[in-house]
Every structure is written in C-alpha cells, then in structure tokens.
Structure 1
Amino acid sequence: MDKTKQLGTEPIGKLLTQYSVPAIIAMIVNAVYNIIDRIFIAQYAGESALAGLTVTFPIMMLIIAFASLIGSGSASIMAIKLGKNDKEGVSQTFGNSLTLGSIVAVLFMIVCYPNMNFVLSLLGANSSLLSYAADYMNIILIGFIFQMTSFVLSSSVRIEGNPMLSMTSMLVGAITNIILDYVFIGVLSWGVKGAAIATVAGQILGFLVLLSFYMRKRSILLITKENFIPKFEEIKDIVSVGFTSFLSTIGASVASVFLNRSLITYGGNAAITAIGAISSLSTLFLMPMIGIQQGMQPIISYNHGSMFKDRVNKTLLLSVVVSSLFAVIVFICLQLYPEAFMSMFLSKESSTMQVAVTGLRYYILMLPGLGIGFIGSAYFQAIAKSKEAIILGSLRQFILLIPLVIILPKLFGLTGVWLSTPVADAITILATAVLLIKDIRTPYEKVLMKTN
C-alpha cells in the first residue's frame, strides 16, 4: 500500500506529529541506552574506563558521519523523487545508497583495525586510558556495516510512510543493548568489552527488523539487481546532498579532539570525565530535536518535489517553534538542577562533580536557540540546497568552534574551554536565522531555478 501520498495532502500538524513522535521516542531511548552504557561502566569499571570511552568519541562520530552522509543524502533525494512520482528513480537511489554504504563500512574497518592504538593516541588517549579505548573500539567496528545500512533502511521506511517501523527498529536495538549491558557489565563484569558487545548485538537486531520489511515485500520500491550497481551520477547526488550531515558530524569529531586536548591541559582527567558526562546528558536532551528533524525531512522533501512551497514553509515554521519550546524547558531544568542530572554519572562526593556542574552550565548557554540551528540545517538539506547546507554544516565546527577552543582557553583557562561551545552556537544560530528568512521570502519560481 502506497502511504507516501499523504505527505502532500494531510494537515502539516498531523503529519509532523505522526512522523516526529516515533522518531523522538526512538531517539530518547537510543540516548538512554548510551547513558546506561556509561552508568554501568562508571559504576562497575570506574571513572578511568568512562574517560577511555570518552576518548573514542571522535571515532564514533566519524562512523556516524559516514552513515549520515549516505543515509540523509539518499533520504532527501528519495523523498523529492517520490514527490515527483519518480518511483524508478527512488529505487535506483535506494540500491546505490546501500551499495555505497557497504563499501564505505568495509574500507573503514580495513583502515582502522591495524592502526587502532596509533589513532587513539592521536585522539588524546594516554597510557592509562588506551587499553579501555582500544578494547571498546575493536568490537564496535564490527557493527559498523549494520549501523550504516540501518541508517539507509530507516530513512527509506519513514519516507514510505512507516515511521513506526523505524521506531521499532531503534527500540529493539536499544532494549537489547540495555538488557545485555546488565548481563555483560553488571553480572559478568566484562567492563568496556561487555558494553561494546551489547551495542553491536543491538545494532544487528535493529537492522534485521528493518530488513524484514523488504524481505516481506512490503515496500513500494522496485528493487532489482541493477539498482545496486553503482552509478556515478547517483552516488554524486547522494554525496552532494548528504555532505552537510557528514561535514557537521565530522566537524564535531575533529572539534572534540581539540576540546578533549584543551580539557586535559586545563582541567586534567576530571575535566575529560566531566565532558563525557555532559555529552551523554546533552545527547539525551537533544534527541527530541533530532527526532523532529527526522520527522520533518520527508514532509519537506516530498512537498518540495511536488512544488507545494506553502506546505514546505508551514512544516519548517512549526518544526522551529516546537523545537525551540522544548529547548527552553530543558535549559531551565538543567540550569536549576545541574547536580541532580550530573549525579546520574558521577558520585556527589566526587571531586569531578563541581567541575561537571560548572561545565554544564556554561556548555548549554545557547540551548534555547538550538532549535533554529538544528531545524535550519536539516531544512536546506531536505530541499537539496547543498550550498546553504554546507555553509551551516561547516560554520559551527570548523570555522568557529575549533579556533575558539584554541583561543578562549588562553584567555580564560578552563572556563574558556567551556565557553567555546555556546559562543560558536550563538553565531551559527544567527547565520541560520538569516538564511532561513531569506529562503522563506524567495518566490517559488526562483527556488525551482536554483534547485533544478
């Protein structure tokens, strides 16, 4: 049954709820299992093990960057083609994205495995953290190909009008991870290796849930062997549209290297442990905004392909409003009760607690405006405006955050490290708002001329 036509006919509020709520639930559960990973590791393996996992964050972000590159790029193109009723083109994009994802995953593992200790040392792992980080990553890489293909399949089933299946996949993976965390870390005392095995097992089961949709021939796509043969133009389009996701994610990975090094320099292991806890907490509360991103993307892309600019603008504005209201509520809670949230990861008696509380308060200063930044960047990607999307994707991480992490600590010490993130966020939010206002005011005829 073809459910895609509802994207161009149903009320925007209903559609955004229908597509965003399952994504939000899945994102929150996904964030919760990442937090539970760290809680189990901190409680059963110690703060050094938690710091070791924090060092692996740039590699984890690199993995997500490649998955986002292909998953988000193919998602926007498929939805736009569906809006144009080009089902043959959608099928070709789908097949090429899976082929490209598999090739990238295999190449990534071939490069990383023989050089793992060297890479982790470059990322700031000292002798006390290296063994924890290597034990974790050597297992995590096994699940990369399942994570990669799941990104593509999850985006595809959402576009086909099945956001609940995408949610189910993430829930199965997350719940599996949580249960196995208890068994492997809490009961069997396998430490970071147990956390990694639990994560990979969850990824495999989540992938199988998505794969079953296509194995049961529930898809509207015309899947043939020919569609999996790489075609240069198709891959170029996928990479072009998805590059902003790759750039922003890889930028976060690179920036985190500079951030970790500055934290170790100006705050020692306590600061690096603190940012691990802060990052986990931030991830939990940012997931609903990412869920709204995922929910709005097929709606905007489909209606852009169908040339319904009024529906595109309504979806954008509603997404910004909902995201911003949520961000304001979270900001107030975190500023009022930082110790309560940090105690999920750190002992209240730990000397690290005060460092983490101070860092959290600085780190989230621009949280109320992040809804504009999150939604704006995803919007330009959804309508295949690569130029604007790439500008926003590179602005925060490469152009602003990395220089700020280098400059501000020299002026303000550890406080300067914490301030680098909200300063970068403030400038990026302002730039995003300017580009969004300009695009909303652009007549649709001019939009077509620039994107076709």
Structure 2
Amino acid sequence: MTTINSIETRPLRPLFLSYLFPAMIGMLLMSINILVDGIFVSHGVGPTALAGVNIAVPIFSILLSISLWVGMGGATLFSIAMGEGNKKRAHQFFTLSFVTMIAVVITLIIILSLNLKKVAYIFGASDITYPYVQQYLHIILLFGIFYTIENLLSIFIRNDGNPKLAMAGLITTSVLNIILNYIFIFVLHYGVTGCALATAISTMLGMSVLCLHFARKQSELKFVRSFFSLSDLKKIFAIGLPSCIVEATFAVMVVLYNITFSYYLGENGVTAYAIVNYIHSVLLTIFLGIGMALQPLVSYHHGARLLDRLTALLKIGITTALILGLITTLFAILFPSQVIALFGDSTFAIRNMAIQGFVHFAIGYIFLGINMVFAEFFQSIEKIRLATTIMLLRSIVLFVPTLILLPKLFGAQAIWWTFPVAEGITALLIYIYIKKKPHIVTA
C-alpha cells in the first residue's frame, strides 16, 4: 500500500503507474458523469429539456475550475511540505485550501442563486428553455458545494498517497448517477429536477466514500486551528492558476471554433465539430490524468530535493504522454469512421466532414500530452510562470492567430489543423527552451 511517506523509497515506474491508472480513470469518469445527465434527459424528458440541461452545464466548468485552482495549488504545497518533512505546514495548507474553497464557492453560489434568471439567460436560455434551466440550475447550485468538496478531496487524497480511494469516490458517483437518473426520470418521472437530484445525491455519496480516507491511520489530511496566512493564500492561487486556465480556456476555444466553423462551413461544420469535440472532451481528460498522476510525485520529490528521481519522473511522464499520443493519433487515422459512429447518427455530409476532420485534428494528441506533462511538472515544482506560459501558448496565444490564419491561407479544411499546429509549436518552443536551459527542470 502506497503512503505519502513511502514515495521516496519505491521504484519510480511502478510508483507512477499506481497513480496513473486511477488518475486517468477518475478524470475520464468526471467527463462521462456530466454527459450521463444529457443522455437520460434526451430519452426520458425530451429535446427541449435536453437543451435546457446543456445550457446549464457550464456551471460545472465554473465549479470545477475553482476546485482545480484551489485544490491543485494547495495540494502541490501540501506535497512539497511533506517532502520537506514539515507535516505542520502540510496540515496548514490542507486546512487553508479547504476553508478558502468553501468560502469562495458559497459566496459564488449565493450570488448566482439570487440572480438565477439573469445567469440562465447569460448562459443562453430562452423563454422556452428557461423553465428547464431553472429546475436544473437551482438544484445544482444548492448542492454545488458538495461537487467542489469531492473534487478538492480527490486531489488531496491522491497527494496523500491514496490514489485508489480517489478513483473509488469518482466511480461511486458515476455509477450511482446512472442508477438514480434512471429511477428519478423513468420510474418516478421527476423530469429535469430528478436529473439534477441524481447528480447531487450521487456526488454527496461519492464524497462520503472519499471521507473514509480520514479514518486511515497513515492519513496526513488533518484540520488545524492555526492555518491562515495571506502569503500562503497567494501561493495557493498562484500555483493553482495553470490548472484553472486549462478548464477556463477550453470553453473559450470551443466558442471560437464554433464561430469559425459557422463562418466557413455553416451549420454542418458546427455539427461536425460538435461530434469531434465530444470525442476530444473525453480524450482530453485522459491526457490530463497523466499530469494528475505526476503532480503528487513531483511535488513530493521536489520538496525532498531528490533531484535524480525528479528528472526520472519527468522522463517517465513524457514517455507515457508520447506513447499515448501516438496510439491515439494512429487509432484516429486507421479507424476514424468507427470512432465517429460511436457518437450518434448524422447526415452523410456531416459524418464525412467529421471523419475527415478528426484524422487531421487527432495529430495534435502527439503533442498535447507532452505539453500537459511539462506544464504540470513546472507547476508542481513552483515554476508558475513557465506552467502558465505553456497553458496560455497552446490555448490562446498560438491558438487564436492560428485559427484565424489557417483557413484564410489554406481554405476551410485547414480549421482542423489549428489544434495540432498550436500544440506542435508549443511543444517545439518548450524543447528549444529546455535545450537552452537544461537545468530548469531541477533548479
């Protein structure tokens, strides 16, 4: 059994794998869990209700970005303190992170709840869809604090040497969400309200599973009375910023893609991209899982100043990301029609556009994992500017001009190349930077 204190003595490769698979499965389940609501609503309530749920879904991105921001920032500092052998500081970072997130989320929920109708229309509701948006959003906001606590705890539990329990909590949430959705929608006919209740109840029960970690003798997640420090709070927000950027910029990228596809290829282009993006949103979480697995190990070794093992961990992470990226790209090139067919029926024109586009789009996965690993690595060793720069390069700085220029220079089909070009240039810039400053990974 892995504990936070045994990390520095275990062989690195099996140690990394013991974190990798639970992290990847956990992140994958998080993405699928949100999609389950839409599937049940579409079949059990109707298309207008589905539109209402989809309009309300960005609330999850908002709540997730907050829990990632505070959770990844605090957990990184927690593991560094444990690596340094300073358990008191580790307990303070955990307590400060937990209290801070509760305060931020409750404040946000109160503001959003008091302005629920305005928020719904900002999200894209109309007079027709608003009743469904209101039903769903009201419940999700009421229980939103449990969603963020579950995310925060899963991050800290992984950092406290218990990745399997972190995964078990998310599995519990996902399985129960499916069961409760069926009961509330098809048996009790609660409609959209039942869907939201299923999500809320399953989240609370999944969170309860995570709380079992506190009964573990080896647990270092302890609440302390003396924890507040303004400088520590600034560190948490600074270190967690790259993780927040990943979630926040994903929504921006989707909007910009939709606008561009609509301009060049019309409604068919937007629909074809929606199919590819559905696949991408699932694959992205798998690649994020590599970084999630790497972070606790890197932060601990950084705190313990075990530089040789730190460098070896980076190499293992890069190798894993590259292999996974190559497999994903190769699979997309060889079996694009089979992959696209998994995500619903569509007209021949849309399906053909999605198949051709996905073949080009998927080349970006060769570079995506590498970029994520380097960003997570630098974030984990407190090199926040580097981590933030990598995230902004791939999602805004390089992405936006590439999205504008490629279709103008090479035609509408080149829109699909935006993702691989932006990720590829980012990876190249990282390579050049590391070549010039090879000691940056341990300095």
TM-score calculated relative to the size of structure 1: 0.86
Deviations 1:291-332 (A, max 9, x none): 222221111111111111110111111111112111211222
| Equivalent position SS for 1:219 | coil
Q: Provide the C-alpha distance between the structure 2 equivalents of 1:267 and 1:189, rounded to a whole number of angstroms.
A: 40
Deviations 1:321-356 (A, max 9, x none): 112111211222223323322333321557643443
- Which residue of 2 is the match for residue 290 of structure 1? 288
Q: Provide the C-alpha distance between the structure 2 equivalents of 1:439 and 1:194, rounded to a whole number of angstroms.
A: 55
Question: 2:185, 2:194 within 8 Å by CA — same for their partners in 1?
Answer: yes
Q: Which moved more, 1:327-336 or 1:8-17?
A: 327-336
Structure 1: gaps (5+ residues) = 448-452
Corresponding position: 1:314 with 2:312: yes
Deviations 1:84-121 (A, max 9, x none): 00100000000000011111111222333344554555
Structure 2: gaps (5+ residues) = none
Are the structure 2 counterparts of residues 304 and 138 from structure 1 closer, same or farther at C-alpha, using a change threshold of 3 Å? same
Question: 1:79, 1:302 within 8 Å by CA — same for their partners in 2?
Answer: yes
Q: Provide the C-alpha distance between the structure 2 equivalents of 1:268 and 1:46, rounded to a whole number of angstroms.
A: 26
Question: 1:38, 1:50 within 8 Å by CA — same for their partners in 2?
Answer: yes
Q: Provide the C-alpha distance between the structure 2 equivalents of 1:350 and 1:51, rounded to a whole number of angstroms.
A: 24
Question: 1:50, 1:273 within 8 Å by CA — same for their partners in 2?
Answer: no
Identity %: 29
Are the structure 2 counterparts of residues 392 and 186 from structure 1 closer, same or farther at C-alpha, using a change threshold of 3 Å? farther
Deviations 1:33-86 (A, max 9, x none): 344444444555566665665555654333222111111111111111101001
- Which residue of 2 is the match for residue 88 of structure 1? 88
- Which residue of 1 is the match for residue 429 of structure 2? 431
Are the structure 2 counterparts of residues 59 and 339 from structure 1 closer, same or farther at C-alpha, using a change threshold of 3 Å? farther
- Which residue of 1 is the match for residue 419 of structure 2? 421
| Equivalent position SS for 1:364 | helix
Deviations 1:172-198 (A, max 9, x none): 111111222333445556665544333
- Which residue of 2 is the match for residue 139 of structure 1? 139
Question: 1:327, 1:369 within 8 Å by CA — same for their partners in 2?
Answer: yes
Q: Provide the C-alpha distance between the structure 2 equivalents of 1:202 and 1:414, rounded to a whole number of angstroms.
A: 43
Q: Which moved more, 1:385-394 or 1:335-344?
A: 335-344
Are the structure 2 counterparts of residues 81 and 216 from structure 1 closer, same or farther at C-alpha, using a change threshold of 3 Å? closer
Deviations 1:192-248 (A, max 9, x none): 554433322222112111223226776234422333xx3211111101111111123
TM-score calculated relative to the size of structure 2: 0.87
Corresponding position: 1:8 with 2:8: yes
- Which residue of 2 is the match for residue 374 of structure 1? 372
Corresponding position: 1:203 with 2:203: yes
| Equivalent position SS for 1:226 | coil
Q: Which moved more, 1:398-407 or 1:19-28?
A: 398-407
- Which residue of 2 is the match for residue 450 of structure 1? none
Q: Provide the C-alpha distance between the structure 2 equivalents of 1:225 and 1:279, rounded to a whole number of angstroms.
A: 45
In the alignment of these two chains, the number of paired residues is: 443
Q: Provide the C-alpha distance between the structure 2 equivalents of 1:404 and 1:145, rounded to a whole number of angstroms.
A: 38
Are the structure 2 counterparts of residues 2 and 413 from structure 1 closer, same or farther at C-alpha, using a change threshold of 3 Å? closer
Q: Provide the C-alpha distance between the structure 1 equivalents of 2:258 and 2:170, rounded to a whole number of angstroms.
A: 29
Q: Provide the C-alpha distance between the structure 2 equivalents of 1:207 and 1:369, rounded to a whole number of angstroms.
A: 34
- Which residue of 2 is the match for residue 238 of structure 1? 236
Bigger relative CO (Cα 8 Å, ≥ 6 apart): 1
Question: 1:331, 1:364 within 8 Å by CA — same for their partners in 2?
Answer: yes
Q: Provide the C-alpha distance between the structure 2 equivalents of 1:443 and 1:422, rounded to a whole number of angstroms.
A: 25
